[in-house]
Structure 1
Amino acid sequence: MTELSRAIVTGATSGIGEATVRALTSSGRQVLAIARREERLRALANATGAEFLAADVRDLDEHAAHLTGFEPDILINNAGVGHGISGLDGMTSDQLQEAFDINVVAPLNLIACLTPGMKARRRGHIVNIGSIAGLHTLLSAVYGGTKSAIHRISQNLRFELSGTGIRVTEIAPGRVASEFYQAAEGDRERLAAMGVSGIRELQPEDIANAILFAVDAPAHVNVATLEILPTEQAVGGIKAEAVKD
Structure 2
Amino acid sequence: MSVRTRTALITGATAGIGEAAARKFVGAGWRVIAAGRRADRLEALADSLGRDSVHPLSLDIRDANQIAKGVASLPAQFRDIDLLINNAGLALPDAPSPAAELDQWKTMIDTNITGLVSLTHALLPGLIARRGAIINISSAAANYPYAAGHVYGGTKAFVRQFSLCLRSDLHGKGVRVTSIEPGLVETEFMLVRYLQDENAADAVYRHASALKPEDLADTLHWVAEQPPHVNINSLEIMPTSQSFAGFRIARGEDA
- On whether the aligned pair clears a TM of 0.5, the verdict is yes
Q: Tell me how far apart the structure 2 counterparts of residues 52 and 18 of structure 1 sit (CA, whole Å).
A: 12
- Cα deviation for residue 38 of structure 1 reads 1.1
- Cα deviation for residue 116 of structure 1 reads 0.9
Report the AA paired with residue 38 of structure 1. Answer: A
- Cα deviation for residue 120 of structure 1 reads 2.2
Structure 1 contact 87–142 (Cα < 8 Å) conserved: no
Matched, 1:58 2:62: yes
Q: Any idea what the Cα deviations from partners look like across 1:33-60, whole Å, max 9, x if unmatched?
A: 0011111111111111211111111122
One of 106, 113, 117 as aligned partner of 1:108: 117
| Ranges in structure 1 where 5+ consecutive residues have no aligned partner | none
Structure 1 contact 78–128 (Cα < 8 Å) conserved: yes
Report the AA paired with residue 104 of structure 1. Answer: I
Aligned to 1:217, the other structure's residue is in SS state coil
Q: Any idea what the Cα deviations from partners look like across 1:172-206, whole Å, max 9, x if unmatched?
A: 111111111110267x7995586245311100000
Provide the residue aligned with 1:132 in structure 2. Answer: 140
Q: Tell me how far apart the structure 2 counterparts of residues 88 and 47 of structure 1 sit (CA, whole Å).
A: 42
Q: CA RMSD of the aligned region, Å?
A: 2.4
Aligned to 1:102, the other structure's residue is in SS state helix
Structure 2 contact 137–179 (Cα < 8 Å) conserved: yes
Q: Any idea what the Cα deviations from partners look like across 1:64-115, whole Å, max 9, x if unmatched?
A: 4236961211000000111254533433222111100100111101111111
Aligned identity (percent) is 38
| 208-217 or 42-51, which deviates more | 42-51
Report the AA paired with residue 15 of structure 1. Answer: G
Structure 1 contact 131–173 (Cα < 8 Å) conserved: yes
Q: How does 1:65-214 map onto structure 2 within 5 Å?
A: 65-66=72-73, 70-121=79-130, 123-139=131-147, 140-184=149-193, 192=201, 195-214=204-223
Change (3 A) 1:3 1:197: farther
| 67-76 or 36-45, which deviates more | 67-76
| Ranges in structure 2 where 5+ consecutive residues have no aligned partner | none
Report the AA paired with residue 193 of structure 2. Answer: A
Structure 1 contact 85–142 (Cα < 8 Å) conserved: no
Q: How does 1:221-236 map onto structure 2 within 5 Å?
A: 221-236=230-245
Report the AA paired with residue 56 of structure 2. Answer: F
Structure 2 contact 142–160 (Cα < 8 Å) conserved: yes
Q: Tell me how far apart the structure 2 counterparts of residues 166 and 97 of structure 1 sit (CA, whole Å).
A: 31
Q: Tell me how far apart the structure 2 counterparts of residues 117 and 220 of structure 1 sit (CA, whole Å).
A: 19
Provide the residue aligned with 1:22 in structure 2. Answer: 23
Structure 2 contact 36–57 (Cα < 8 Å) conserved: yes
Provide the residue aligned with 2:32 in structure 1. Answer: 31
Structure 1 contact 84–143 (Cα < 8 Å) conserved: no
Report the AA paired with residue 13 of structure 1. Answer: T
Structure 1 contact 83–142 (Cα < 8 Å) conserved: no
TM-score, normalised on structure 2? 0.88
